[in-house]
């Protein structure tokens, strides 16, 4: 009942060839997006394509070409670690990009982070006069705040 | 068929790597360069995958796993210590 092995081989080869070409096109799309998009945030959007979907397609083509079962868990581990670590670096780059104002505000539709950043900045400027005066009650009251601005002059 | 796929993906990935290197060169900010170097790392991982798939070996597999585990440390480190030194704040 099974189709003959050569037909199955041809189908698997075709599928993995399509996966390889599409995964390479993901990298090309990321490069085009890096060159053409206007600011850091939209370039970050383009940069995630080869990191997640492109790597998935290429690892799947490796697994299809090797035709062994034990290699799939290793490929899955590689992809899972990529999916776990890419958001960390994207979060840090996006956070630093927002704080250092590497973005075009006119391109944003909404900005939910602005209120949080403004509140933290207000709190920091409100805390600043206390640090010179060394009032023990006020310093004890502010101990639950951020610890990075507590250097007394 | 695999030779055709190898040629096509080699051309595509060379163009992609050239685009990422151009973005690393022209910047304009440090975070753009970090992001483009991440994309270049992903392109290198893609070439390792295609080499394994076309030639049917597994020599690069541990390198690929290590790349996906520790590849984010560089951009995290640079993004942690980045500072704004620009004259005109909206130039990028």
The full set of domain ranges for chain B reads 2-79
Answer yes or no: are the C-beta atoms of B39 and B20 closer than 8 Å: yes
Report the pLDDT value the prediction gives residue B27, as an integer from 0 to 100: 77
CA distance B60 to chain A (A): 11
Report the pLDDT value the prediction gives residue A141, as an integer from 0 to 100: 45
Task: In whole angstroms, give the CA distance from residue B11 to residue B2.
Answer: 14
CA A100 to centroid of chain Cα atoms: 18
Whether B44 has its CB under 8 Å from any CB of chain A: the answer is no
Yes or no, beta carbons of B5 and A17 under 8 Å apart = yes
- Nearest alpha carbon to residue B38 among B85, B83, B79, B84: B79
Q: Euclidean distance between the first and final Cα of chain B, in Å?
A: 44
- Chain B: residue whose CA lies nearest to A52: B42
CA distance A133 to chain B (A): 30
Yes or no, beta carbons of B72 and A86 under 8 Å apart = yes
Yes or no, beta carbons of A101 and B84 under 8 Å apart = yes
- Nearest alpha carbon to residue A39 among A105, A100, A102, A93: A102
| pLDDT tens column, B3-47 | 899 999 999 999 999 999 999 999 788 889 999 999 999 999 999
Residues of chain A contacting B83 with CB distance shorter than 8 Å: 100
CA distance A138 to chain B (A): 31
Report the pLDDT value the prediction gives residue A151, as an integer from 0 to 100: 41
| pLDDT tens column, B45-86 | 999 999 999 998 889 899 999 998 998 898 888 888 877 666
- Nearest alpha carbon to residue A50 among A30, A34, A78, A22: A30
| pLDDT tens column, A47-60 | 888 889 999 999 99
Q: What percent of chain A has pLDDT over 90?
A: 35
The answer to whether the complex's ipTM is over 0.95 is: no
Whether A28 has its CB under 8 Å from any CB of chain B: the answer is yes
| pLDDT tens column, A65-78 | 988 889 999 999 99
Whether A59 has its CB under 8 Å from any CB of chain B: the answer is yes
A36, A46, A92: best mutation site toward chain B, by most B Cβ within 10 Å?
A92
Whether A61 has its CB under 8 Å from any CB of chain B: the answer is yes
Chain A and chain B share a number of CB contacts under 8 A equal to 177
- Where chain A has pLDDT below 50, the residues are 1, 132-153
Which tokens hold the place of A45? 């959007």
Q: Write down the residue that tokens 């996906």 correspond to.
A: B68
Report the pLDDT value the prediction gives residue B89, as an integer from 0 to 100: 56
């Amino acid at each position: 009942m099974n189709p003959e092995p050569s037909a199955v081989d041809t189908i698997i080869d075709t599928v993995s060839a399509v996966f390889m070409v599409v995964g390479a096109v993901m990298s090309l799309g990321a490069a085009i997006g890096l060159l053409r998009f206007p600011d850091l945030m939209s370039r970050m959007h383009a940069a995630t394509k080869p990191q997640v979907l492109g790597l998935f397609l290429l690892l799947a083509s490796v697994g299809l070409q090797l035709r062994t079962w034990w290699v799939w868990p290793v490929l899955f581990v590689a992809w899972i670690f990529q999916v776990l670590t890419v958001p960390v670096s994207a979060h840090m780059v996006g956070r630093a990009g927002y704080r250092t104002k590497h973005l075009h505000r006119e391109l944003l539709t909404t900005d939910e982070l602005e209120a949080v950043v403004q509140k933290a900045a207000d709190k920091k400027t409100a805390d600043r006069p206390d640090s010179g005066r060394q009032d023990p009650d006020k310093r004890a009251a502010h101990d639950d705040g951020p610890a990075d601005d507590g250097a007394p002059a | 068929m695999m030779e055709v796929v190898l040629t096509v993906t080699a051309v595509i990935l060379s163009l992609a790597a050239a685009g990422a290197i151009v973005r690393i060169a022209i910047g304009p900010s440090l975070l753009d360069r970090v992001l483009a170097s991440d994309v270049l790392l992903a392109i290198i991982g893609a070439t390792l995958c295609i080499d394994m798939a076309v030639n049917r070996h597994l020599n690069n597999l541990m390198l690929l796993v290590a790349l996906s585990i520790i590849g984010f440390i560089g951009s995290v480190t640079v993004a942690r210590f980045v500072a704004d030194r620009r004259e005109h704040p909206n130039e990028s």
